[in-house]
């Protein structure tokens, strides 16, 4: 993890996985979710924190979900339904249900289809934020399949050479099962940094690096710069913004057209093809999602696949590092290590996050017995 | 197109599409390909040149294909067969057949499956170079489907923080059909630049930009630098190389872990899952391919999809550019414009490429009547 996003020791409060899970479940229960959905929703958030993915754990997301349930923009008991279906595909109307639950349910449908006909692809429109995209991709690995998940988000990122934030950060996640290594997990926003990370950098009192944001005219800023102030609207198109997100690559010369292209792909597969439209569509408050499950056995022997994946991942992690680096990591390895560490030592939350929990638990009359 | 890759006017020889196509077909005929395969193979190369994708047109690829047919590493008459199949998937043993033909045939199978069950995914092992990946993705758009194509290439790129070239440039292409706009076409190597482009920059006597390559120790070079000399082996792991390719992003801080992650994804889906193994697998001379076709009608009304895609692409191209830029382009737009221009004015080839054609045509007793 880059320094910008680590909770500094002076600001840390340590909480156990069980304590955090219990409290998060109690909050979702107060929001009116069904019993099945409560456990799943809490699992998505707590797993993100356990894996060290602060951007998508309780600190960033839970408060926005609570706000969404409060103002009616998220439906706690969605009557979601399949609007179109074939043996290997489905499209779901999420009835404004939260994506962290909807995408997991959709992945279960994709897995079932992949078991029967080799592949399953399910899109979802009229849903909300889906949390850590790799959570849903990982669900397929538990069934010895390869999982993929994308989500078409509200606009906050400039196209290459553009000055208006027309694209979402639009993360893509892919997970594949190994034997002793892995799972392989790739999960990344197609912007240079995830939008959530600007807030994390601010809370940690650090600067944004060059190539992450552009100024209000659309010029990429290639030096370090202060994060935008709290409450700042990254999607403000009127030029009143002090900074916009850049696609991964930063500038055309460094390859920002590749990040830009992937953002479009996610808007097309998860947004337009789900029938929900793209990020900046007038009147579109929703996120469009895309999940896919690949039945490895449809292509080759699953055991052989997992052995070869182990070999591939081992080759990467044992390769010689460049000067100044201790080792090479494969995608997913830092998160597995962080999960192990946090299982033993607990989750370090920023004290501001703990204060938020104290406030919301008091407001909702939830007992909060966090032990260090 | 960046200046690095444009053929300079002083070096240009203009050739018509028809003249070029005729000569390329004659060369493939001399290589022993079947009549059906000849037309297809020539079409893949000439379309790349017509779209302005020099890296994958005749100048870079045809001579390497001719070498491959000559030394027996490419089989001109492959007896390819499906090794495993389900209603929505297939895996193909390409019998050392060239990828430019094999991937197109595989896409036709994927399209047929998508027509029947919604999705088609086909992998290919034991094949060779597939040319411009978007050619195969575009094949699906002709049937009103979304197409995807990836290829797991021999190693030439460093992992983030690594010093050994363990990953291929591993391009990903996605194409989607519009009505009046498009097609949308994203097609990019997951390295900062495609490997072929180093040779193009050398031929055009320009420099490589910062963030594209690392030095022989694995340190990213962030200033401009001369391209490596001719005959240079990007996959030399013994540290004797003066430069290696970097993942898109260049450095970890600028997001190179995203390019690195995508390279792994392509090695997993196109390489390992095809049974052909990953790039650096001992004794693996082949490329592994992955193609997918999405039947839009399986998710929503195809007409509505195409209308919305037009709206999305129009929004992007009419948005306000950043200072110093004339306009914002969507992925695929420059290539459509270049195709139109070259249909009218012909294809500008570097004189060295024309000299190569003269030599090979003399050697193979092919008449070459190129008119300006």
Residue A303 phi, psi (nearest 5): -60, -45
- Identify the closest residue of chain B to A258 by CA–CA distance: B188
The reply to whether A229 and A98 lie within a common domain is yes
Q: Is the pLDDT of residue B3 over 80?
A: no
pLDDT band at A234 (very low <50, low <70, confident <90, very high): confident
Residue A287 resides in a domain? yes
A-B C-beta contacts closer than 8 Å: 280
Which of B251, B280, B322, B330 is most worth mutating to test chain A (most A CB atoms within 10 A of its CB)? B322
Lowest mean pLDDT of A241-255, B183-197, B284-298, name the range: A241-255
The reply to whether B45 and B138 lie within a common domain is no
Task: Give, to the nearest 10 degrees, the angle between helix A99-117 and helix A35-50.
Answer: 90
- Identify the closest residue of chain A to B176 by CA–CA distance: A268
Specify the CATH number for the domain of residue A36: 1.10.1530.10
What is the percent of chain B where pLDDT is above 70?
A: 95
The predicted model gives B198-219 an average pLDDT of 87
Q: In this complex, which of A164, A273, A299 lies closest to B123 when CB atoms are compared?
A: A299
Cα atoms in the Cβ-side hemisphere of radius 13 Å centred on B367: 2
Residue B116 resides in a domain? yes
Token pair recorded at residue A322: 């460049």
Q: What is the pTM of this model?
A: 0.96
- Identify the closest residue of chain A to B307 by CA–CA distance: A272
The reply to whether B67 and B91 lie within a common domain is no
Instruction: Give the SS3 label for residue A283.
Output: coil
The reply to whether B279 and B142 lie within a common domain is yes
Q: Where are the beta strands (DSSP E) in A87-208?
A: 89-97, 119-127, 145-152, 172-176, 184-188
β-pairing, A213-214 vs A244-245, is antiparallel
The reply to whether A133 and A233 lie within a common domain is yes
Q: In this complex, which of B119, B146, B258 lies closest to A248 when CB atoms are compared?
A: B258
Predicted local confidence at residue A202, as pLDDT: 84
Interatomic CA distance for residues A157 and A288, integer angstroms? 17
Residue A318 resides in a domain? no
Lowest mean pLDDT of A62-66, B89-93, B236-240, name the range: B236-240
Residue B326 resides in a domain? no
Specify the CATH number for the domain of residue A177: 3.30.1370.60
Dump pLDDT digits (tens) for A195-229.
Answer: 878 877 888 888 888 899 998 889 999 999 888 88
Instruction: Give the SS3 label for residue A236.
Output: coil
User: Is B163 part of the contact surface with chain A (CB cutoff 8 Å)?
Assistant: yes
Residue A294 CA, chain-centre distance (Å), reads 20
The predicted model gives B15-34 an average pLDDT of 97
β-pairing, B119-127 vs B89-97, is parallel
The reply to whether B177 and B253 lie within a common domain is yes
Dump pLDDT digits (tens) for B209-250.
Answer: 889 999 888 999 999 988 888 777 777 666 555 678 999 999
Dump pLDDT digits (tens) for B27-67.
Answer: 999 999 999 999 999 999 999 999 999 888 998 889 999 99
The reply to whether B229 and B279 lie within a common domain is yes
The predicted model gives A255-274 an average pLDDT of 97
Q: Is the pLDDT of residue B86 over 90?
A: yes
Residue A298 resides in a domain? yes
Task: Transcribe A277-339 into DSSP letters.
Answer: --TTSTT--PEEEEEEEEEGGGTS-HHHHHHHHHHHHHHHHTSPBPTT-S----TTHHHHHHH
Q: The domain containing residue B137 runs over which residues?
A: 81-302
Residues A261, B305: C-beta atoms closer than 8 Å: no
User: Is B245 part of the contact surface with chain A (CB cutoff 8 Å)?
Assistant: no
Interatomic CA distance for residues B8 and B203, integer angstroms? 10
pLDDT band at A7 (very low <50, low <70, confident <90, very high): confident
Q: In this complex, which of B117, B217, B257 lies closest to A86 when CB atoms are compared?
A: B117
Q: Is residue A137 within 8 Å of A170, Cβ to Cβ? A: no
User: Is A179 part of the contact surface with chain B (CB cutoff 8 Å)?
Assistant: no
First and final C-alpha spacing in chain A? 24
Residue numbers in B near A253 (CB within 8 A): 2, 209-211
Predicted local confidence at residue B9, as pLDDT: 83
The predicted model gives B70-79 an average pLDDT of 96
Residue B237 resides in a domain? yes
Interatomic CA distance for residues B168 and B280, integer angstroms? 9
Predicted local confidence at residue A237, as pLDDT: 66
- Identify the closest residue of chain A to B267 by CA–CA distance: A312
The predicted model gives A345-354 an average pLDDT of 94
Dump pLDDT digits (tens) for A116-126.
Answer: 999 999 999 99
Residues A121, B117: C-beta atoms closer than 8 Å: no
Task: Transcribe A347-364 into DSSP letters.
Answer: EEEEHHHHHHHHHHHHHT
The reply to whether B24 and B48 lie within a common domain is yes
CA-based nearest distance A372→chain B, Å: 34
Q: Is residue A97 within 8 Å of A80, Cβ to Cβ? A: yes
Q: Is the pLDDT of residue B280 over 90?
A: no
Q: Which helix (H) or strand (E) holds A48?
A: helix A35-50
Residue A308 resides in a domain? no
pLDDT band at A1 (very low <50, low <70, confident <90, very high): low
CA-based nearest distance A298→chain B, Å: 6
Number of domains in chain B: 2
The reply to whether B64 and B19 lie within a common domain is yes
Predicted local confidence at residue B55, as pLDDT: 83
Dump pLDDT digits (tens) for B108-147.
Answer: 999 999 999 999 999 999 999 999 999 999 999 999 999 9
Residue B256 CA, chain-centre distance (Å), reads 21
Interatomic CA distance for residues A310 and A313, integer angstroms? 5
Q: Is residue A33 within 8 Å of A40, Cβ to Cβ? A: no
β-partners of residue B174 are B148, B186
The reply to whether A129 and A32 lie within a common domain is no
Interface of B with A in 297-336 (CB under 8 A): 298-300, 304-305, 308-309, 312, 315-316, 319-325, 327-331
Residues B146, A273: C-beta atoms closer than 8 Å: yes
Which of these, B295, B279, B269, B282, lies nearest to B124 by C-alpha position? B269
Residue numbers in A near B160 (CB within 8 A): 328-329
pLDDT band at B359 (very low <50, low <70, confident <90, very high): very high
Which of A170, A175, A258, A327 is most worth mutating to test chain B (most B CB atoms within 10 A of its CB)? A258
Q: Is the pLDDT of residue B349 over 70?
A: yes
Q: Is the pLDDT of residue A331 over 90?
A: yes
Q: Is the pLDDT of residue B286 over 80?
A: no
Residue B325 resides in a domain? no
The reply to whether B41 and B132 lie within a common domain is no
Dump pLDDT digits (tens) for A238-254.
Answer: 655 567 899 999 999 88
Interatomic CA distance for residues A269 and A291, integer angstroms? 10
The reply to whether B189 and B221 lie within a common domain is yes
Dump pLDDT digits (tens) for A183-195.
Answer: 999 999 999 988 8
């Amino acid at each position: 993890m880059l320094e910008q996003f680590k909770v500094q020791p002076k600001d840390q409060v340590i909480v156990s996985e069980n304590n955090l899970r219990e409290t998060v479940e109690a909050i979702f229960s107060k929001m009116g979710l069904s019993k099945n959905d409560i456990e799943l929703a809490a699992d998505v958030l707590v797993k993100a924190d356990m894996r060290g993915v602060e951007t998508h754990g309780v600190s960033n997301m839970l408060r926005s979900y609570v706000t969404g349930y409060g103002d009616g923009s998220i439906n706690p008991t969605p009557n979601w339904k399949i609007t179109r279906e074939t043996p290997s595909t489905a499209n779901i109307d999420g009835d404004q249900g939260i994506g962290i639950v909807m995408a997991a349910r959709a992945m279960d449908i994709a897995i079932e289809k992949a078991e029967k006909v080799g592949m399953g692809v399910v899109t979802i429109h009229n849903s909300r934020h889906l949390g850590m995209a790799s959570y849903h991709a990982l669900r397929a690995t538990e069934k010895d399949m390869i999982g993929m998940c994308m989500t078409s988000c509200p606009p906050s990122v400039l196209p290459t050479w553009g000055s208006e934030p027309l694209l979402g950060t639009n993360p893509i996640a892919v997970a594949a099962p190994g034997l002793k290594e892995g799972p392989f997990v790739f999960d990344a926003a197609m912007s240079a940094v995830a939008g959530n990370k600007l807030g994390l950098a601010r809370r940690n009192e650090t600067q944004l690096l060059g190539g992450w944001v552009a100024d209000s005219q659309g010029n990429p800023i290639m030096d370090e710069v202060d994060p935008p102030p709290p409450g700042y609207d990254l999607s403000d198109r009127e030029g009143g913004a002090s900074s916009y997100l850049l696609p991964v690559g930063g500038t055309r010369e460094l390859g920002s057209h590749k990040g830009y292209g992937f953002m479009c792909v996610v808007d097309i597969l998860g947004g337009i093809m789900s029938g929900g439209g793209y990020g900046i569509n007038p009147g579109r408050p929703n996120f469009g999602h895309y999940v896919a499950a690949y039945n490895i056995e449809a292509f080759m022997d699953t055991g052989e696949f997992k052995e070869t994946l182990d070999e591939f991942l081992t080759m990467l992690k044992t390769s010689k590092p460049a000067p100044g680096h201790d080792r090479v990591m494969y995608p997913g390895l830092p998160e597995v290590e962080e999960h192990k560490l946090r299982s033993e030592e607990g989750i370090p939350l920023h004290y501001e996050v703990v204060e938020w929990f104290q406030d919301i638990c008091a407001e909702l009359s939830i007992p909060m017995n966090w032990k260090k």
